[in-house]
Structure 1
């Protein structure tokens, strides 16, 4: 029997519907682990990459942009490109303040409008990019401190609500698990950021 050193899967699930794709990627992962195979899995679907991988390599124009564990690339992207590839992160321009104490106790922080987020100590002061994932936005009453915004669109997707807000930072896409009490279009809110799903990278 053949015992290859490496198996190559090149977009194996691209023509399948969503439910079958999920089942097949679980089956591929199960077989790979059971037989202890080394598999190189090529995909443009970040959710697929996260689901089947122990290590992910993100390529950009033929060079390695970043490699590491799935959680590392998702939570700590090293560049604007990786942040955009690993999920639906929105990229905003912000200003980094290196070595200055933020309200949350971080040694360095970046400003995103009225919001402050911790930033890596390796980043110098100046213009940076701040990647924010849709699930990182917290929706509060308009009277709360934060980024003032107004709801312009909403979509019900069963287990989540998708919201689009207009703000001083531009259009903001938010995913919320609060489906029982959806916001009305036109509602004013205050947006703040969770401690996860936010990354600051060089601009």
Structure 2
């Protein structure tokens, strides 16, 4: 004998709200799955400076926490703040052979991870100094605007102008020296080829 169904005591509006919340959760989970599949198919490169600045395991944790923006997939770029994830005990940055421009027990107050197209890049702030990477290499934006522009260093290793563990023992060549167009701060452009890199769930097991 089929038991008699009792009508729900919840008002219809509450049942509709609960059903909508369930659909929203399912939609969010489905978008996240599609987003991760997209990352696995497309992201194959990373800046070597990012890989040196952020411990591999902690970078993987950040990738697992990454979620698509509201504009994805129309806008493929996505960024996240890696606050507290970048600690490798780095000291401050010094430039032009001067005393360090920034001293920080953790070396970086924050790293912003950027995923855009096929590559993973970063903006790392060490005190007032900003290191920004791209597929062509990147730029170091210094907190000074009136220093002598050392054009003679173009073609030299980045470590000859900027002292920091992620620039040492690396052949990152300086390609330009100038000023940031918006702030007037001194800027050093450099070349650093991206390295092969995959998101953690796309690596061979």
| Both proteins in one fold, TM over 0.5 | no
Larger Rg computed on CA atoms: 2
Q: TM-score, normalised by structure 2?
A: 0.26
Q: TM-score, normalised by structure 1?
A: 0.27
Higher helix share: 2
Bigger RCO (CA 8 Å, 6+ sep): 2
